Amino acid sequence: MKRIIAIVAGGDTSEYEVSLRSAQGIYSFIDKEKYTTYIVQMHGTDWHVQLPDGDKVPVDRNDFSFCMPDGRKVTFDFAYITIHGTPGEDGRLQGYFDMLHIPYSCCGVLAASLTYNKFACNQYLHAFGVRIADSLLVRQGQNITDDELVEKIGLPCFVKPNLGGSSFGVTKVKTRQDIQPAIAKAFDESREVMAEAFMGGTEITCGCYKTKEKSVVFPITEVVSHNEYFDYEAKYNGESDEITPARISDELTDRVQKLTSAIYDILGAQGIIRVDYIITEGEKINLLEVNTTPGMTATSFIPQQVRAAGMEMSQVMEDIIENAFA
């Protein structure tokens, strides 16, 4: 009997539409001969299942089930979480599934919550010797003057939401007069704002997943944005060159892949993660951030890296799902 898989998408942040695109990608990757798959959309308290005929039926949040139009109850064996942001990337949904004893695709509560908080995650990994940029955190209700930011971080710098992704609310700040507007913009997306020193160099990203039987670190992708930085337009509207494998030395490739695997283990990650770095002068590897529910459209980094590794996305999906039952 085929396992019934929920691809959980949507969420409560600006990344809602991005998440739905990832869900369509994952739906196309999962082998329908082996699994019965449904997309579950979440937005606030509106949880519903998309049926093959286009109809939508509500999810019973008491046991994460739904009823078909003929009254037949369907319960899920596994949840593939592809919400970018709250509640699927920050640990909340993971806690819900843990209580229902429904296995899922990604990090558990602690690792998800930690990695969703960029500042906390980077500081945590820095304690293990991972290089990071100088940064500071501002919470709602707190103020920081232009002079304080320049003294601690310098210019140019990036001001971004501490909780969020897809470059929503991010500003590259070059002048003092841009500091406070950038902070206000970031606060529109998150209750915490992170200011991070600019690092010039080569931006790269590396995916990884592990099961009880194997450890897979993918080829590295080099990211060359056509814009000031790797913003939303560069990420989703083709305004960047994404080169896999990256144009870096074999020795540096090996170091990045080993670091990515180590970060996976330090965090106690599960499923697929993607770690973003910038390589600065002297081939220094600097962490940008860790993504525990990375984008999964056909053109996203992870599918690119899977193809470059000579693997099939359907096999990767099967590895992730079946590992929960091994």
178 and 189 share a domain? yes
Domain boundary among 197, 219, 237: 197
In tens, the pLDDT along 151-173 reads 999 999 999 999 865 567 899 99
Angle, in degrees to the nearest 10, between helices 313-323 and 301-308: 110
239 and 306 share a domain? yes
Q: For residue 191, what are its two tokens?
A: 């209750």
213 and 186 share a domain? no
Domain boundary among 177, 197, 217: 197
- Overall average pLDDT of the 123-138 stretch: 97
223 and 260 share a domain? yes
Per-residue pLDDT, 13:
86
159 and 220 share a domain? no
The CATH number linked to 252 is: 3.30.470.20
Using CA atoms, how far residue 16 sits from 60, 183, 222, 234, in Å, is 21, 23, 26, 18
Q: For residue 193, what are its two tokens?
A: 């704002």
In tens, the pLDDT along 214-232 reads 999 999 999 997 766 444 5
Q: For residue 174, what are its two tokens?
A: 């070059």
Asked if residue 71 has pLDDT above 70, the reply is yes
156 and 239 share a domain? no
126 and 243 share a domain? yes
Per-residue pLDDT, 8:
98
Asked if residue 125 has pLDDT above 60, the reply is yes
Domain range holding 93?
3-105
215 and 176 share a domain? no
192 and 204 share a domain? no
- Overall average pLDDT of the 19-35 stretch: 97
119 and 237 share a domain? yes
174 and 271 share a domain? no
Split into its structural domains, the chain has a count of: 3
Domain boundary among 89, 105, 121: 105
Least confident of 42-56, 82-96, 216-230: 216-230
The CATH number linked to 100 is: 3.40.50.20
- Overall average pLDDT of the 63-87 stretch: 96
| CB-based contact 302:218 (threshold 8 Å) | yes
Asked if residue 30 has pLDDT above 60, the reply is yes
Per-residue pLDDT, 238:
58
pLDDT interval class at 273 (50, 70, 90): very high
Percent of the chain with pLDDT strictly greater than 70: 94
- Overall average pLDDT of the 238-254 stretch: 91
Give, rounded to a whole angstrom, the gap between the first and last alpha carbons of the chain: 17
In tens, the pLDDT along 298-317 reads 889 999 999 999 999 999 99
SS3 assignment, position 246: coil
Residue 326 lies in a domain: no
248 and 303 share a domain? yes
Residue 72 lies in a domain: yes
CA distance 57 to 47: 9
Asked if residue 176 has pLDDT above 70, the reply is yes
